[in-house]
Amino acid sequence: MRTNPERRQALIDAAIEVLADEGARGLTFRAVDKRAAVPAGTASNYFANRDDLLNQVGSRFYERLQPSEETMAKVTEGPRTRANITELMKDIVARIEAFRTGYLAMLELRLEATRRPELRAVLTERVREDLDFNVRNHLESGQPGDADTVRLLYLALNWLIVDRMTLPDIFSEEQSMHLIETAVDRLVRD
């Protein structure tokens, strides 16, 4: 296996784009090579097989969605208010919407995980780590609400994001922002 980390990352990013545009059935080494604009056969030098590529795409999605230092400061140093949590939730939705292809690729991976136990294990671990990270940061920061508040916001926002990514005409931008505000208002206890 090749070890050029920049090339590997570019191939994984190309795989995300292929998954978003063509679905899991369209994800081939040839399609990844083409999308990454590298010579044919390059992806096969970096990944043992298609399952290896799928597993690495699952991890890469979360790497690319890491919150900025400014956002993390809003969690740890920002006001302990519903309004701050509302802004943080809007930031999460905005980051995901800005990486639309990544989210669509993740939806494809989740469907693929129903048939691939190894991929299911990778995604389960990664999603659980992300959720635990969010719960831990929320509790340590002293923001209002408890662990279940974070989990319920995760569930509510995920479905809103699915609709925004797949059927964007269901809720307008204004309605989406209102729904985020309402979810925080109803779920976060002072």
What's the token pair of residue 98?
Answer: 């800005």
pLDDT at 1: 60
Q: Is the Cβ–Cβ distance between 7 and 39 less than 8 Å?
A: no
pLDDT at 190: 73
Q: Is the Cβ–Cβ distance between 151 and 131 less than 8 Å?
A: yes
Domain count, the chain: 1
CA distance 30 to 39: 9
CATH number, domain of 124, equals 1.10.357.10
Q: Full-prediction pTM beyond 0.85?
A: yes
pLDDT at 189: 83
Q: Is the Cβ–Cβ distance between 180 and 90 less than 8 Å?
A: yes
Task: Tell me what percent of the residues of the chain surpass a pLDDT of 70.
Answer: 99
Q: Is the Cβ–Cβ distance between 74 and 87 less than 8 Å?
A: yes
For the chain, how big is the Rg over CA atoms in Å? 18
No. of H helices and E strands in the chain? 10, 0
32-47 mean pLDDT: 95
Which residues 6+ apart lie within 8 Å of 77 measured at CB?
Answer: none
pLDDT at 165: 94
pLDDT tens for each residue of 79-129: 999 999 999 999 999 999 999 999 999 999 999 999 999 999 999 999 999
Which residues 6+ apart lie within 8 Å of 140 measured at CB?
Answer: 76
Domain region containing 60: 5-187
Identity of the amino acid at 113 = A
What's the token pair of residue 128?
Answer: 């659980």
- Does 3 have pLDDT greater than 80? no
Which residues 6+ apart lie within 8 Å of 101 measured at CB?
Answer: 16, 17, 20, 21
Q: Is the Cβ–Cβ distance between 150 and 134 less than 8 Å?
A: yes
Mean of the per-residue pLDDT values for the chain?
Answer: 93
Task: Tell me what percent of the residues of the chain surpass a pLDDT of 90.
Answer: 88
pLDDT at 85: 95
pLDDT tens for each residue of 158-174: 999 999 999 999 999 99
What is the greatest pairwise CA distance in the chain?
57
Task: Place 2 in a pLDDT band, splitting at 50, 70 and 90.
Answer: low
pLDDT at 66: 87
182-190 mean pLDDT: 92
Task: Place 152 in a pLDDT band, splitting at 50, 70 and 90.
Answer: very high
CA distance 22 to 18: 6
